[in-house]
């Protein structure tokens, strides 16, 4: 469905993605993209969605280089849900989800579309907010609306940039259950950026690890989530537990913070 060959990208002369390649991802696969802040995850998504130009390399959708696909057609197939989706638009929850649906149905809205929006609002337990303005929602509720906007477009490839970062524990699990169910049923390729590595371990078919713009590992969760990787990529000491439900990470020590640096920062704030 989607593959990448020798992808490099930059912001002006600051190179942030360096020679990334991976082979075709099969439909119905859920991949988690992990890596520290600034590793390049959001930029990588923008490159895959065709909204950030590559310095070199290629992104292929169904074996066609995306530079040869019109931006309208590409947006129908590859849906990117950005990390921050702040908007001041005076639109209600129902309206923004319907607008997303309208985009994928070529501008025509019929009763089925309206019913689908209602059903999705129900599934995400957002019915009570249907006629609220976006500006009247909490951060987590907004994030659920963004997820609804992405799912209703029924893309072939779904790129979700930290879709659960503002959600409480139950909503995180409910949302990831829904995402993983939908993408298996509808044979969608889904790549999700997550900072919660235990959730990555529980839900992923595969995990990609991005560090300083390089794809440093790509494999099954139990192979990728290792004590060594947590030390070299995240600079933390952690314990790892495996059971039939997944792989769980318990970080307990930062290798970059120590008492003298904490004292230094406190001194700086005090003065």
Ligand X SMILES: Nc1ncnc2c1ncn2[C@@H]1O[C@H](COP(=O)(O)OP(=O)(O)OP(=O)(O)O)[C@@H](O)[C@H]1O
Tell me which residues in 63-122 interact with ligand X (CB under 6 A). 83
Q: What is the number of the residue whose Cβ is closest to Mg ion?
A: 42
Taking CB under 6 A as the binding criterion, the range among 30-38, 110-118, 143-151, 152-160 that sits at the site for ligand X is 30-38
**Binding span for Mg ion by CB under 5 A among 24-32, 79-87, 226-234, 257-265:** 79-87
User: Rounded distance, CA 128 to CA 21, Å?
Assistant: 44
Separation CA 242–CA 62 (nearest Å): 35
DSSP helix, strand, coil percent of the chain (3-state; round to 5): 40, 30, 30
The nearest distance, CB 139 to ligand X, in angstroms, is 16
Rounded Cα–Cα distance for residues 269 and 135 (Å): 34
Which of Mg ion, ligand X, none interacts with 43 (beta carbon under 5 to 8 A by kind)?
ligand X
**Alpha-carbon Rg of the chain, whole angstroms?**
20
Q: State the minimum distance, in angstroms, from the CB of residue 10 to ligand X.
A: 9
- Interatomic CA distance for residues 66 and 48, integer angstroms: 9
* Gap between the Cα atoms of 154 and 158, Å rounded: 9
Query: Smallest gap, in angstroms, from Cβ of residue 161 to Mg ion?
Result: 6
Work out what residue 139 binds among Mg ion, ligand X, none; the CB cut-off runs from 5 to 8 Å by kind.
Answer: none
**SS3 state at 254:** strand
- One of 13, 37, 88, 107 touching ligand X (CB under 6 A): 37
**Binding residue for ligand X, selected from 6, 23, 26, 38, defined by CB under 6 A:** 38
Q: How far is the CB of 122 from ligand X (least distance, A)?
A: 31
| CB half-sphere exposure, 109, CA atoms < 13 A | 13
| Interaction between residue 139 and ligand X (CB under 6 A) | no
Residue ranges that bind Mg ion, judged by CB under 5 A: 41-42, 83
């Amino acid at each position: 469905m989607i593959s990448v060959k020798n992808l490099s990208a930059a912001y002006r002369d600051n190179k942030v993605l360096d020679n990334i390649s991976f082979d075709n991802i099969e439909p119905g696969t859920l991949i988690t993209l992990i890596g520290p802040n600034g590793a390049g995850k959001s930029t990588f998504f923008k490159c895959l969605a065709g909204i950030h130009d590559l310095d070199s390399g290629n992104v292929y959708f169904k074996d066609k280089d995306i530079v040869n696909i019109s931006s309208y057609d590409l947006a129908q197939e590859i849906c990117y849900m950005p990390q921050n989706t702040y908007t001041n638009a005076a639109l209600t929850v129902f309206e923004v989800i319907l607008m997303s649906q309208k985009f994928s149905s070529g501008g025509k809205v019929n009763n089925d579309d309206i019913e689908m929006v209602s059903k999705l609002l129900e599934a995400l337990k957002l019915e009570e907010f249907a006629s609220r303005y976006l500006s009247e929602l909490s951060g987590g509720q907004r994030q659920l609306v963004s997820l609804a906007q992405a799912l209703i477009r029924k893309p072939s490839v779904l790129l979700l940039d930290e879709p659960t970062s503002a959600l409480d524990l139950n909503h995180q699990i409910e949302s990831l259950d829904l995402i993983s169910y939908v993408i298996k049923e509808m044979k969608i390729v889904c790549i999700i950026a997550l900072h919660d590595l235990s959730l990555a371990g529980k839900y992923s078919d595969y995990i990609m690890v991005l560090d300083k713009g390089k794809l440093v590992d790509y494999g099954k969760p139990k192979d990728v989530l290792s004590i060594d990787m947590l030390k070299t990529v995240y600079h933390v000491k952690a314990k790892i537990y495996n059971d039939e439900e997944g792989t769980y990470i318990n970080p307990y020590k930062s290798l970059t913070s120590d008492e003298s640096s904490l004292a230094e920062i406190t001194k700086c704030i005090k003065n």
